[in-house]
Chain A
Amino acid sequence: MPIKKKSSVTTVKKNTSKVLQQSLLELIRVASTVLPEDVQRVILKALKKEEKNTTAEYALKIIKANIELAKKKSQPLCQDTGTVLFYVGHPVGFSQTIFTKACHNAIKEATAKGYLRQNSVDSLTGESQPDNLGPGHPSIHFHEHASKNLSISLMLKGGGCENVSAQYSLPYTPLGAGRDLEGVFKVVLDSLVAAQGKGCGPGVLGICIGGDRAHGHTEAKHQLLRFLDDKNPNPVLAKLEKRIVDSANTLKIGPMGFGGNTTLLGCKVTHLNRLPASFFVSISYMCWAFRRQGVELGSDFSIKKWIY
C-alpha cells in the first residue's frame, strides 16, 4: 500500500494559517492596550479645556495616565475588553472559513494571555465560556473588494457604552421629534442625557439615520471605524455632526458624568434608505477607551501596515 505523503499544499496552508493567527493576535494585543492616535489627540485637547482643580480635570488626568500605563505594560486599557468586532475587506476567492478559524484561535490565545477578558456568557445558563467564543462571539463582518489586499479592522466595544446605545423610532412624541433632521438632533441629545456618565464619557457617537432596526445598529457601529478628524463627504451630515458635538458639550455632563466642558469627543453620521413606514435613528455610544485598530496584510498574511 503506498504511503500517503502529507500534501505540501496542506503544509503551506497550515503555516500561512499560523502566520495569520499571529498577525491577528498582534492586532488584538495592540487594539486592547494602545489607544489610537486620533483618539489620544482629542482626549488631550479635552483635558486642556477643563477647569483646573475640578473633578472633570482629575478624571481626564487619570485617563491620560492610564493610556500611558496600558501601552507601557502591554495590558488592557480597560478590563472590559468588550464585544470583539472584526471588519474584513478581502479579495475575490478568499476563504472566510480559514480566516474564521485563525480568528477563533487568536482570540483563545489572546484570552489566555490576558489581552482579552473572558467575556462570553451563555445567555440561558449564565455560564462564562473560558475560551471567549460562542454564538455571536466574535462578530466578523466580511466584505469582498476589488483590491488584492486583506484589510482587517478590529473594534473592542465595552458593555458599559453598549448599554447606553439607543435606537429611536421617529416621530418620537415625548420629545416632539418629527421625521426630519431636527427630530434626529433631538433624540440624539436625549440619548446623551439618558446616558449621563454611564458610558464612560467623554464618548464618541456613531449614528445611522434610516435602515431597518438591525441594519441601523450595524451601520451606526460601522461609523466608529472613521478617523475622528475626518470630514463627512455629505455637507448636510458634516454640519449635523458638528452641531451635535457642540450642543452635547453645552449639556455640561462632562467626563464620567462629573460635570464639565467635554461630554462628546466626536460624532459620525451616515444614512440608509428606509421603508416609508419606518424612520429609525440608531445611536452607537463609544466610550473614551475607544479601542479600534486595523492592519493590512500581505499575501503571506504578515502585517504590512497599521491603519490607525
Chain B
Amino acid sequence: MRRSRWPRIVLTAAVAAVSVVLAGCTAASPAGSGSGGAGDDAEHASLTYWYWAESDAPGANDWMKGRIAAYQGKHPGVTIKLVPQATDTLIGAFTTAAQSKSGPDIATQWATLPVLSQVWGGAVAPISDYLPDSERKNWIGTQENTYQGKVWGMPIYLIGIPLAYNKSLLARAGVAAPPTTFAELLRACAALRKVGVTPIGGGNKDGYFGAWFFSNFGKQNLDSVGDLQQAVIGTTDIRDPKVTGFYEPLHQLHANKCFNDDIASLSLDDGMSKFAGGQAAMAWGTDGIVAKWARTLGPEKIGVVRTPTWGTGKLASVYNTTQSSTAFITSWSAHKKAAAQFLGWLHDPANLTSWYEATGIFPADTRFDQATITSELGRSLWELTSSPGSVWLENYLPPAVDGDGDLAAGQVITSGGSVADAVAAFAKATEKWRGQNPAEVKNYTTWSGR
C-alpha cells in the first residue's frame, strides 16, 4: 500500500512545486507605477535610497550623507537609509530587487536606457506625477529620461568629459596649443613620445575607457542619435563606418603608442591617475575628476578642451554632457510623496551650491549660482558642460549592448586586436540583444521613433 501511494505523493508534490514556480514566474510581469497608498505621508516615512555617484563625483557619498542628516533634522518624521551601490552591480542588483518588488524607495540608474529599461519593466513611478512643473522646469537634462510625456527620474548633476592636458608637459614637447583635431592629436602624441612622455593616460581592463571613447568619438560621424538607434534595432547596418568607424581612430591612437603601454591591464581609474601623477600629458576625465586633478597638480597647470574633432557628422561639434546617474522613485514604494519631496529638496539652491563645493561637479539645475565658480578651470568646464545640444551617446545603447559589445569592442583594440574584430564584436552583441530581448526591442523601437 505504502509503495503504491508514495510515488503518487511525490508526483503531487512535484506538480504543486512546479505550479508554484510557474505562478511565481508569471507574476514577474510588468507592473504599473501604482500609488503610494493610503499611508503615503510626505512627513512620516522611512525611506531607503540606493545611491550611486561617487565614481563620477568624488565626495558625493559624504555630501549625500550630510544632506540626509539635514533633511531629517527639518523633517523629524522622515528617516532615510542611504545604501551606496557598486558600479558593477548597479543594474543587476536593482533588477533583482525589482523582480520581487522590494528594496529601495529611491534608486539610481544611469540616465536614459538603463532608466527606461526599468520603466518598461514597471519598476519606476514617474517623478513628474509627484513634483510640479514649476520645480521640474529648472532641472537640466530631463529629456534624457522622458518617455510617453512623463519624466521618470531626477537629474542631480551634470558631467562633461573634457580632454584635460598638462600645460608644462605639452610645452616640454614643444606642443604650443592643445589638440583640437584628430590630426593635431596624433602630432602631439608623436612629439610627446619623442621627449619620453606618455601622451594619454588611460586604463581599459574594465572596458570603461572604450565606452567613453564610444561617446567621445562614436557620435562624430552621426547627424543625430537616431542614426545610432536605427542601427541598434537593425534598420540600418551597424557595421557601417558611420556608426562604428570610430574604432579606426582608437586603433590609430593605440598603434601610434599614444596611450600608456599598460592600458589593457589597468582599470579606468588607475589609468587616469597617471595624469594626476604627472606621468601622462593628457587624459579624459569627468568634471569632478578634473577638479580633483587640479587640487593635486595645481589648477594653473591644467587646461581642458573638448575631444578633438575626427568625424564629419552634425554631432561632431557638440560636447559630451549627461546627467550620468538618475534618481527615481520605485513603483512599489509606499512613500512616493515623501521620496519626491526629499528629491525635490535636493534641488534647493543651498544644496546646489554645497554639491558643487563638495564635488567640483555642476548641479543639473538652472538655479545654480554660477558666481560660485571662482577658478578659471571651473569656468572653462562650465562653458563646455553647459554648451547647447550636448549628447552622451552611450546613454542610447541598451545596457546589454553596452556591456556585451561596447565595452568588449574597445578592449579588442586596446589589447592589440583589429578594427574589423572590434566592429564584429559590437555587431554580434547587438544581434544577440535583438534575439534575446524581443519585448525590450519593441519598447526601444517605439521609444526611438518618439
Do A and B originate from a single complex? Answer: no
Which residues of A are at the interface with B, using a C-beta cutoff of 8 A? none
